[in-house]
């Protein structure tokens, strides 16, 4: 696959950048979905009829919001965020 990619005139750096972006996007997708699943479990455990634990339910809501933000932000958003931060670092 890489040989075909390089054969069409693309450089190795663009190949690595695209592959890294794809992998980061996949990792963020999995982390976001995992956090949303953990949030649903916490909500169910906190609001179950047997024991009402509002603290656990509140933690579930916060985890769900964090998971949804990571899922929504995506790889391009996080890469743009850190690129923006790198321009603010003073250089001598």
pLDDT in tens, 49-88: 787 888 888 999 999 999 998 888 888 788 888 777 776 6
Confidence class for position 22, pLDDT limits 50, 70, 90: confident
Distance, in Å, from the CA atom of 37 to the CA atom of 32, rounded to the nearest integer, reads 9
Confidence class for position 15, pLDDT limits 50, 70, 90: confident
pTM over 0.85: no
Residue 19 has pLDDT above 90, yes or no: no
pLDDT > 70: what percent of the chain? Answer: 82
Q: How far is CA 80 from CA 7, 55, 73, in A?
A: 29, 35, 10
């Amino acid at each position: 696959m890489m040989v075909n990619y390089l054969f069409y005139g693309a450089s190795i750096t663009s190949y690595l950048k695209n592959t890294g972006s794809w992998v980061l996007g996949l990792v963020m997708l999995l982390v976001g979905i995992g956090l949303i699943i953990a949030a649903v479990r916490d909500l169910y455990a906190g609001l179950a009829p047997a024991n009402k634990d509002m603290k656990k339910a509140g933690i579930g809501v916060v985890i769900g919001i964090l998971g949804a933000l990571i899922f929504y932000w995506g790889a391009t958003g996080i890469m743009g965020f850190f690129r923006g931060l790198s321009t603010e670092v003073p250089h001598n």
